[in-house]
């Protein structure tokens, strides 16, 4: 455990020095602010720059608070995930390809600890960035439009965070499988999109899937209650995450650290 | 007492057998060299001993007194050590020290000690990204020692260095020899002869010759006479080939190196040779060759 | 044009200014880091232009692709 914490601290220190702990939260904060602001000013912007007939303008109502929070999550699920995947696609490959990994794993270091420390760090950074960005979104929504009950906000955010952890775990799993960062990024984003698409197309067959979590979060913002079978998809996501971490550790242990050079 | 024993150790990659059933026994308190041309399988062998790659056949056993994960007792320096460029030398040593189970305080003390040993105390707070090749190599040795290993494994520790760096590292190895066992690989015979006690010569995945340095030297070393003359010795030396003590020779303009069977007879006869005197000898020297001949022969096979 | 100025006066600047500040901070961090870092993936001056002229996206691109973590 002590060793795990040392590995974890090293990951944090590295991300502080290469500014990941600065720019990733900043990106989330920016999108967290921009979404409520643009939603709020959208009718006025359209009005000033014209083009739309008068009657159409009345059809664009200022969205409700829960709606804006849901839109913010939508932004995070697109740009936020893209940024996180690109930032962490080299989480294993970088050290492996540069040869620094070999120097560490030749020491009495647990392969499992090495891997899970990296996973914990990137998840922590992702979740922290999300919480910061989302807090700004909530505050701006409160100032500009209306306040959403705090309990709803927190409950919805927790459900959404679980979906985020699912994506971070996908990055980890693909990182242990492939040495190419492009492959890791492509597969993680691809699979995330497929899962969320299938979930919105066939909500019944996909009721268990992590892709359902964001729609449950939207529903919580509005009513305080998740959609049908929310607990099923929460339980399944937790299970999938732990199984994926387990598989990643297993693969990583059995993969050779040193490559054959002639 | 053997620190590490490998029996019929084999490693096959898709199409090639990099290491082919070798037996190694590394003794405690001894500096062992794994000598061989590039591509002989030295790095693969070392990687199997450290546990970084798994053998496809054979077994590795570490001294029974040291049980558990053998990585605890091994310090390793790869051929091209790579560090986190954003850390300082001191941070890196503290990090690896703590990973080996030292407390923060103990790791700090150990780091200071090692930085002084490898002469990096002045650069300890600088980012490793700004270190020179020689400094990185020395830091590499320091990190290999951080856990007070029973066996230090160094992969080609001097081959990438300039003459000064090379000398520094060889001296450092001589110093280390007194306190710990060393196993190192090299493709330079001279380095092996300078610091090692035991030598394993590898080629094409097999151990071709093994033994103590002194033992190998008496067994394979041939006495040699070096002659330098003012006149061309070309015609004269051809006649030498018929002598019964003659083995082979090498003529480079007016410098003649003759490897002989019996040094005393050869010396007597040569010094009594009137023709040689007419060639106006400048130098006449009895030298002992290194194992170069043997090594070249082995490498060629 | 009148409508635009009218709109601008209606805008609650205390809400917009934080966005501009954050954008600026992001740009400054990327710029300083790029400037001090001698090694980037691709020419350094291109990255400096990207950081300065493309708000938000430029610095992000630099951190993801331009920065070399030696």
Read off the tokens for B290. Answer: 């290194």
Asked if B95's CB is within 8 angstroms of A10's CB, the reply is yes
Give A172's pLDDT tier (boundaries 50, 70, 90). very high
Task: Mark which residues 95-154 of A lie under 8 Å from B by CB.
Answer: 98-100, 102-109
What pLDDT was estimated at residue A230?
Answer: 94
What pLDDT was estimated at residue A235?
Answer: 97
Asked if the structure places residue C51 within a domain, the reply is yes
Identity of the residue in B52, B100, B143 whose CB atom sits nearest the CB atom of A258: B52
Please check the confidence at residue A261 and state whether its pLDDT lies above 60: no
What pLDDT was estimated at residue B289?
Answer: 66
| Smallest Cα distance from B131 to chain C, Å | 12
Task: Report the complex ipTM.
Answer: 0.89
Complete domains list, chain B, with CATH? 2-218 (3.40.50.300), 221-300 (3.30.70)
CA B134 to chain centre: 18
Confirm or reject contact between C70 and chain B (CB < 8 A).
yes
Please check the confidence at residue B181 and state whether its pLDDT lies above 70: yes
Please check the confidence at residue A262 and state whether its pLDDT lies above 50: no
Asked if C22's CB is within 8 angstroms of A30's CB, the reply is yes
Q: d(Cα A214, Cα A196) in Å, to the nearest integer?
A: 9
Looking at residues A183-187, what average pLDDT do you find?
97
The β-bridge relationship of strands B2-12 and B74-77 is: unpaired
Asked if the structure places residue C10 within a domain, the reply is no
What pLDDT was estimated at residue A105?
Answer: 95
pLDDT in tens, B262-289: 888 888 888 888 888 888 889 888 877 6
DSSP one-letter string for chain B: -EEEEEEEEEEE-SS-EEEEEEEEEEETT-EEEEE--TTSSHHHHHHHHHTSS--SEEEEEE-TTS-S-GGGGEEEE-SS----TTSBHHHHHHHHHHHTT--HHHHHHHHHHHHHHTT-GGGTTSBGGG--HHHHHHHHHHHHTTT--SEEEEESSSTTS-HHHHHHHHHHHHHHHTTSEEEEEES-HHHHHHH-SEEEEEETTEEEEEEEHHHHHHHH--EEEEEEESS--HHHHHHHTTSTTEEEEEEETTEEEEEES-HHHHHHHHHH-HHHHHT-EEEEEEEE--SHHHHHHHHH-
What pLDDT was estimated at residue A198?
Answer: 95
| Smallest Cα distance from C43 to chain A, Å | 19
Chain A residues close to C37, C-beta within 8 Å:
none
Asked if the structure places residue C4 within a domain, the reply is no
| Smallest Cα distance from A86 to chain C, Å | 7
Asked if A102's CB is within 8 angstroms of B78's CB, the reply is yes
> Angle between the B89-99 and B133-144 helix axes, to the nearest 10 degrees?
20
Asked if the structure places residue C60 within a domain, the reply is yes
The count of CB pairs under 8 A between chains A and C is 53
CB within 8 A of B61, min separation 6: which ones? B4, B5, B6, B7
Looking at residues A164-181, what average pLDDT do you find?
96
Candidates A184, A12, A180; CA nearest to A96 is A180
CB within 8 A of A172, min separation 6: which ones? A91, A92, A115, A118, A119, A122, A244, A245, A248
Read off the tokens for B203. Answer: 């080629």
Mean pLDDT lowest among A32-41, A244-253, B15-24, B283-292: B283-292
CB within 8 A of A87, min separation 6: which ones? A20, A24, C63, C64
Quote the mean pLDDT of chain B. 89
Candidates B39, B3, B1; CA nearest to B20 is B39
Asked if the structure places residue C3 within a domain, the reply is no
What pLDDT was estimated at residue A51?
Answer: 62
Q: d(Cα C56, Cα C51) in Å, to the nearest integer?
A: 8
Task: Mark which residues 1-60 of C lie under 8 Å from A by CB.
Answer: 3-4, 7, 10-12, 15-16, 18-19, 22-23, 25-26, 29-30, 33, 56, 59-60
What pLDDT was estimated at residue B218?
Answer: 79
Looking at residues B237-259, what average pLDDT do you find?
83
Domain housing C29: 16-66
The β-bridge relationship of strands B206-212 and B198-203 is: antiparallel
What's the pTM value of the predicted model, to 2 decimals? Answer: 0.87
Give B15's pLDDT tier (boundaries 50, 70, 90). confident
What pLDDT was estimated at residue A59?
Answer: 63
Candidates A95, A4, A107, A96; CA nearest to B144 is A107
Highest mean pLDDT among A35-39, A130-134, A255-259, B214-218: A130-134
The total number of residues written for chain B in this structure: 301
Looking at residues C59-64, what average pLDDT do you find?
92
Q: Partners for A (CB, 8 Å, 3+ pairs)? A: B, C
What pLDDT was estimated at residue B290?
Answer: 65
Higher pLDDT, residue C2 or C42:
C42
Contacts 24+ apart (CB under 8 A), B14-21: B16/A262, B17/B205, B18/A260, B18/B44, B18/B205, B19/B44, B19/B45, B19/B48, B19/B55, B19/B205, B20/B204, B20/B205, B20/B206, B21/B57, B21/B58, B21/B206
Please check the confidence at residue B239 and state whether its pLDDT lies above 60: yes
CB within 8 A of B15, min separation 6: which ones? none
pLDDT in tens, B51-67: 999 999 999 999 888 88
Residue in A closest to B51 by C-alpha: A106
What pLDDT was estimated at residue A169?
Answer: 98
Asked if the structure places residue C1 within a domain, the reply is no
Q: How many domains does chain C have?
A: 1
Q: d(Cα A63, Cα A61) in Å, to the nearest integer?
A: 6
CB contact at 8 A, B209 and B227: no
pLDDT in tens, B95-151: 999 999 999 999 999 999 999 999 999 999 999 999 988 899 999 999 999 999 999
Please give the C-alpha separations between residue C70 and each of A6, A18, B111, B127, C67, in angstroms, as whole numbers.
21, 10, 22, 10, 9
Residue percentage of chain A with pLDDT more than 70: 94
Mean pLDDT lowest among A155-164, B70-79, B119-128, C12-21: C12-21
Chain B residues close to C70, C-beta within 8 Å:
85-86, 129
Asked if the structure places residue C9 within a domain, the reply is no
Chain A residues close to B99, C-beta within 8 Å:
3, 6-7, 104, 107-109
Asked if the structure places residue C30 within a domain, the reply is yes
pLDDT in tens, A63-100: 899 999 999 999 999 999 999 999 999 999 999 989 99
CA A164-A209-A176 angle, 5° bins: 55
């Amino acid at each position: 455990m002590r060793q795990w914490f040392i590995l974890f601290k090293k990951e944090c220190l590295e991300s502080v020095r290469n500014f990941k702990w600065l720019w990733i939260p900043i990106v989330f904060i920016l999108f967290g602010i921009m979404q409520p602001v643009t939603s709020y000013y959208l009718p006025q912007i359209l009005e000033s720059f014209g083009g739309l007939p008068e009657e159409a303008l009345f059809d664009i109502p200022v969205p409700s608070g829960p709606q804006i929070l849901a839109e913010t999550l939508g932004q995070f699920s697109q740009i936020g995930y893209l940024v996180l995947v690109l930032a962490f696609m080299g989480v294993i490959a970088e050290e492996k390809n540069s040869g620094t990994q070999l120097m560490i794993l030749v020491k009495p270091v647990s392969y499992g600890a090495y891997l899970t420390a990296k996973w914990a760090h990137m998840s922590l950074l992702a979740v922290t960035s999300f919480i910061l960005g989302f807090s700004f979104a909530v505050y701006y929504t409160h100032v500009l439009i209306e306040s959403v009950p705090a309990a709803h906000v927190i409950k919805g955010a927790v459900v959404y965070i679980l979906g985020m952890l699912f994506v971070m775990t996908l990055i980890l799993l693909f990182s242990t499988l492939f040495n190419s960062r492009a492959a890791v990024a492509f597969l993680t984003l691809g699979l995330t999109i497929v899962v969320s698409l299938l979930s919105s197309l066939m909500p019944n067959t996909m009721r268990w899937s992590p892709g359902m979590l964001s729609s449950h979060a939207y529903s919580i913002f509005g009513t305080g209650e998740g959609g049908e079978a929310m607990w099923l998809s929460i339980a399944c996501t937790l299970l999938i995450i732990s199984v994926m971490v387990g598989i990643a550790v297993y693969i990583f242990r059995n993969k050779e650290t040193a490559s054959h050079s002639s | 007492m053997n620190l590490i024993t490998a029996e019929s150790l084999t490693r096959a990659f898709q199409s090639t057998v990099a290491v082919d059933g070798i037996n190694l026994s590394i003794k405690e308190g001894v500096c062992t060299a794994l000598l061989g041309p590039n591509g002989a399988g030295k790095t693969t062998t070392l990687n199997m001993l450290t546990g970084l790659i798994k053998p496809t056949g054979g077994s590795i056993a570490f001294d029974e007194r040291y049980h558990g994960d053998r990585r605890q007792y091994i310090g390793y320096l790869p051929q091209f050590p790579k560090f986190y460029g954003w850390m300082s030398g001191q941070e890196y040593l503290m990090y690896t020290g703590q990973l080996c189970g030292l407390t923060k305080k103990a790791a700090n003390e150990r780091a200071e000690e090692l930085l002084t040993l490898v002469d990096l105390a002045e650069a300890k707070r600088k980012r490793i990204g700004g270190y020179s090749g020689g400094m990185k190599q020395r830091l590499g040795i320091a990190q290999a020692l951080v856990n007070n290993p029973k066996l230090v494994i160094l992969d080609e520790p001097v081959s990438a260095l300039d003459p000064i760096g090379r000398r520094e590292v060889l001296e450092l190895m001589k110093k280390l020899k007194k306190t710990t066992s060393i196993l190192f690989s090299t493709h330079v015979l001279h380095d092996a002869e300078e610091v090692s006690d035991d030598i394993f010569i590898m080629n094409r995945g097999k151990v071709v010759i093994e033994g103590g340095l002194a033992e190998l030297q008496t067994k394979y070393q041939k006495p040699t006479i070096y002659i330098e003359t003012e006149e061309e010795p070309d015609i004269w030396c051809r006649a030498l080939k018929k002598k019964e003590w003659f083995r082979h020779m090498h003529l480079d303009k007016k410098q003649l190196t003759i490897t002989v069977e019996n040094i005393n007879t050869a010396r007597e006869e040569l010094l009594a040779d009137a023709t040689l005197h007419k060639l106006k000898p400048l130098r006449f020297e009895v030298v002992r060759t290194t194992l170069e001949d043997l090594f070249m022969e082995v490498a060629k096979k | 044009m009148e409508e635009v100025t009218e709109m601008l006066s209606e805008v609650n600047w205390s809400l917009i200014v934080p966005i501009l500040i954050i954008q600026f901070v992001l740009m400054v961090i990327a710029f300083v880091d790029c400037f001090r870092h001698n090694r980037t993936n691709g020419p350094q001056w291109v990255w400096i232009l990207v950081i300065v002229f493309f708000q938000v996206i430029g610095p992000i691109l630099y951190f993801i692709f331009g920065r070399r973590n030696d």
